[in-house]
């Protein structure tokens, strides 16, 4: 039995965590069967065997693994066919990219969709999310999100290293997708599911890459349930 514990909204089919999407795509890449187990923020008890307070958590038989990057490493070491990284040097380099995708890409997206994320929650989880995030970021969720029309312009500029790579190759990992693509796509799936706000201009090379990613694995990402009714 393989289970992926993921974050959901009031609607358990709305699963929007960026880190969980990274792992979901890694599992599909490997062709490994799994069951997604949706949890709300306040439902931490199922994560205890992994000693984790965050998702994703992977349960693979008797083995529990937490943290999306460590789960990807675990999957590559345990199931070496169809590599996600391709060796120790690539793993080391991927750790740098992981930090870039968290700090330079994910963190700036957060304020642009943060008030939309609270809208996905039931009352108890909305209160938890609001209190914890407003304390962490030092402003109301609405104030954080209010500047997004300006913020998105700066955000697009910070993606230039990704654009440069996509000028040379169709995927971040080369000719076919692997971990780097799944890690970036997790960030875009988070924004797509949680918010109608569009992060990319239509003619951006990254938007073309994102379309290719949406189509992978029988349109798995494309079929994911959205927490809103479409474009703003
Ligand atoms: N570095 C971790 C980050 C995981 C993380 O922050 N997950 C968030 C959801 S996106 C979470 O579970 N938060 C729980 C909470 O805030 O209570 C990873 O890569 O898995």
Q: What is the predicted pLDDT for the residue at 230?
A: 78
Is 16 near ligand 1, meaning CB less than 6 Å away? no
Measured by CA distance, the residue closest to atom 12 of ligand 1 is: 54
Atom of ligand 1 nearest to the CA of 129: 16
| DSSP-assigned letter for residue 104 | I
pTM reported for the whole predicted model: 0.97
Burial class (CB in 10 A: 0-12, 13-18, 19+), 10: middle
The string of pLDDT tens digits covering residues 162-211 is 999 999 999 999 999 999 999 999 999 999 999 999 999 999 999 999 99
Please report which confidence band the pLDDT of residue 1 belongs to, taking 50, 70 and 90 as the band edges.
confident
Pick the CATH number of 2-78 from 3.30.360.10, 3.90.226.10, 3.40.30.10, 3.40.640.10: 3.40.30.10
pLDDT > 70? residue 232: no
Q: Which of 52, 53, 66, 59 is nearest to 37 (CA)?
A: 59
Q: Where are the domains of the chain?
A: 2-78, 88-219
Pocket test for ligand 1, best of 6, 16, 51, 55 (most atoms within 8 A of CB): 55
How big is the CA angle at 221 (ends 215 and 227), to the nearest 5 degrees? 140
Average pLDDT over residues 61-78: 98
Backbone dihedral region of 43: left (phi > 0), alpha (psi from -120 to 50 degrees) or beta?
A: beta
Calculate how far, in angstroms, residue 51's C-alpha sits from the geometric centre of ligand 1. Answer: 13
Measured by CA distance, the residue closest to atom 19 of ligand 1 is: 68
Query: How far is the C-alpha of 68 from the C-alpha of 59, rounded, in Å?
Result: 13
Q: Are 212 and 25 in contact (CB under 8 A)?
A: no
Calculate how far, in angstroms, residue 19's C-alpha sits from the geometric centre of ligand 1. Answer: 7
Mean pLDDT (the chain) is 97
Average pLDDT over residues 45-74: 98
The string of pLDDT tens digits covering residues 115-174 is 999 999 999 999 999 999 999 999 999 999 999 999 999 999 999 999 999 999 999 999
Mapped onto helix, strand or coil, the DSSP state of residue 229 is: coil
Please report which confidence band the pLDDT of residue 50 belongs to, taking 50, 70 and 90 as the band edges.
very high
Atom of ligand 1 nearest to the CA of 23: 20
User: Is domain 88-219 classified as CATH 1.20.1250.20?
Assistant: no
pLDDT > 80? residue 227: yes
């Amino acid at each position: 039995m393989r289970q992926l514990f993921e974050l959901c909204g009031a609607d358990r089919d709305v699963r929007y965590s960026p880190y969980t999407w990274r792992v979901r795509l890694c599992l599909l890449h490997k062709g490994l069967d799994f069951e997604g187990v949706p949890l709300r923020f306040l439902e931490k008890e199922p994560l205890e065997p992994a000693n984790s307070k965050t998702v994703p958590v992977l349960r693979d038989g008797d083995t529990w693994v937490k943290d999306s990057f460590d789960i990807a490493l675990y999957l590559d070491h345990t199931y070496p066919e169809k590599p996600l990284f391709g060796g120790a040097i690539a793993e080391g380099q991927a750790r740098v990219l992981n930090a870039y995708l968290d700090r330079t890409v994910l963190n700036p997206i957060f304020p642009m969709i943060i008030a939309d994320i609270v809208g996905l929650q039931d009352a108890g989880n909305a209160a938890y999310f609001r209190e914890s995030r407003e304390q962490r970021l030092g402003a109301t969720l609405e104030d954080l999100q209010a500047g997004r029309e300006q913020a998105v312009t700066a955000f697009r500029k910070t993606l230039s290293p990704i654009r440069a790579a996509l000028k040379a190759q169709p995927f971040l990992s080369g000719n076919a997708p692997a971990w780097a693509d799944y890690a970036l796509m997790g960030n875009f799936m988070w924004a797509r599911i949680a918010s109608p706000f569009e992060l990319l201009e239509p003619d951006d090379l990254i938007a073309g890459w994102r379309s290719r990613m949406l189509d992978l694995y029988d349109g798995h990402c494309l079929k994911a349930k959205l927490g809103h009714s479409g474009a703003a």
